Structure 1
Amino acid sequence: MRRRIFFLATAAAGMLAAPGAVHAATRRRFPELSAARRLQLRHAASGAKFSGIYRTGQSVDPGAMAELSEVLADTRTGAVRPFDPEVIDILWELGQQQKFTEFAILSGYRTPATNRAVHGAGDSQHLRAAALDVEMPAAKFDAFGEAALRLARGGVGLYPQHGFIHVDSGPVRRWGGGGPAGTMAVRAPKLSPAEERLNRLAEAWAAARR
């Protein structure tokens, strides 16, 4: 009994003497506690903002995602659609790589009417709340675009003349580039008929999955 009391007292003293070691052990046992993903963004058109943690480890915060979905709503109608966490993860990862503290979003979710009004593609990932048009300063355009292409997690569209980069969580593809705001000239390669059919199948699969 005395040995047990002595052991507990010694352990408690060690914990008080080395709190950092205790915290490190806790992080090793529960890695999700130290894997919180924080994001700060604003919608350039509406002025709506989000700042906070949207994911901890493998778990997405439903409340934070609901708030993000409202911030990224269709700006013409105010319509809200639950945003795809995967494209939010893409944005977060690029922000970590490129040291962005805040993102300005030009376009998030679009209704079909809004998509037609801005001459968006008929199968745009914006229609599925799975795409973001990110305003990009000219000085950071090339580095961010190259990072997005290297990530290979979805679609990347480069619009240097308009000052934004499109990212989405659909099939991996790329288009755009060049122009005065960026030196990178990345264009979608010409596809064979078989490759075009595969792309259409991939888009159909992505739509069905959502």
Structure 2
Amino acid sequence: MNRRSLLLGALAPVALSAPALATQRPLPAARRLTLRHAATGARFNGLYHDGRAVDPGALAEISAVLADSRTGTVHAFDPTAIDILWEAGQRARWRGEFLVVSGFRTPETNALVCGAGNSQHLRASALDVCVSAAQLAGFTDAALGMKRGGVGVYASRGFIHLDSGPVRRWGDVPGGPSGSSAPRAVPEDPIARIAEAWASTRTR
């Protein structure tokens, strides 16, 4: 065997391994959330997703935190809605906990707060999250830029609604209801009393 053959033979394993190395991707980042329900004080703080899949145990804890605040009824929360909240937070460079004024609602509770009859809260796929005036514009832009689910902005009440339903927008957002593919959105939460729990926490 001549020198040329020996050299090619030595390089072959490197050449063969290069495509395999090129196709390797970094492991997806784990996702962490800190949530607190304004009305009940229930809290979740930890990893809920390992970067590949939702942790069922963590999702069960989150569902308990986001239970109906009037009755305590727990409904398995839609992990897509949780992902939307997490992603919006990442885009907006959110720091600290998310203070939630409304998660899952029973039909009775939904009626008491004047929620829409087809509210995503009834499906445990919507969250109303308190956002300060200083963070409102940035968080709104982040949520709308995702083009995922519904985004309702209630600037005077100090919170944003996020859900995993059809893409749409309403409230204090630029451009009004979203694109032609979505029907004109009726304000999902007129909220005569939806912010009372949050307001009460601020006066303690």
Partner of 2:111: 116
Which of 52, 71, 78 aligns to 2:46? It is: 52
Partner of 2:131: 136
Pairwise CA distance, 1:188: 2.1
Aligned counterparts of 1:38 and 1:99: Cα–Cα separation in 2: 13
What is the identity percentage for the equivalent residue pairs of Structure 1 and Structure 2? 57
Q: Relative to structure 1, is the Cα distance of residues 31 and 142 closer, same or farther in structure 2, using a 3 angstrom cutoff?
A: same
Aligned to 2:153, the other structure's residue is in SS state: strand
Q: Relative to structure 1, is the Cα distance of residues 190 and 29 closer, same or farther in structure 2, using a 3 angstrom cutoff?
A: closer
CA offsets per residue over residues 43-99 of structure 1, 9 Å max, x none? Answer: 011111000000012211010000000000000000000000001001111111222
Please, what TM-score do these two structures have when normalized by structure 2?
0.73
Are 1:168 and 2:163 an aligned pair? Answer: yes
Pairwise CA distance, 1:186: 4.6
Q: Relative to structure 1, is the Cα distance of residues 188 and 102 closer, same or farther in structure 2, using a 3 angstrom cutoff?
A: same
What is the identity, as a one-letter code, of the residue corresponding to 1:31?
L
Aligned counterparts of 2:118 and 2:139: Cα–Cα separation in 1: 25
| RMSD (Å) for aligned C-alpha atoms | 2.3
As a proportion of its length, which structure holds more helix? Answer: 1
Query: How many correspondences in the alignment?
Result: 162
Which of 88, 109, 112 aligns to 2:82? It is: 88
Aligned to 2:114, the other structure's residue is in SS state: coil
Flag the structure with more relative contact order, 1 or 2, with Cα contacts below 8 A and sequence separation at least 6.
2
Aligned counterparts of 2:182 and 2:158: Cα–Cα separation in 1: 30
Pairwise CA distance, 1:113: 0.2
Please, what TM-score do these two structures have when normalized by structure 1?
0.71
Are 1:188 and 2:177 an aligned pair? Answer: yes
Pairwise CA distance, 1:195: 6.2
Matches within 5 A, 1:1-210: 31-32=27-28, 35-100=29-94, 101-177=96-172, 185-188=174-177, 196=183
Aligned to 2:73, the other structure's residue is in SS state: coil
Aligned counterparts of 1:30 and 1:98: Cα–Cα separation in 2: 23
What is the identity, as a one-letter code, of the residue corresponding to 2:147?
A
Could you tell me which runs of 5 or more consecutive residues in structure 2 were left unpaired when the two chains were aligned: 1-20, 186-204
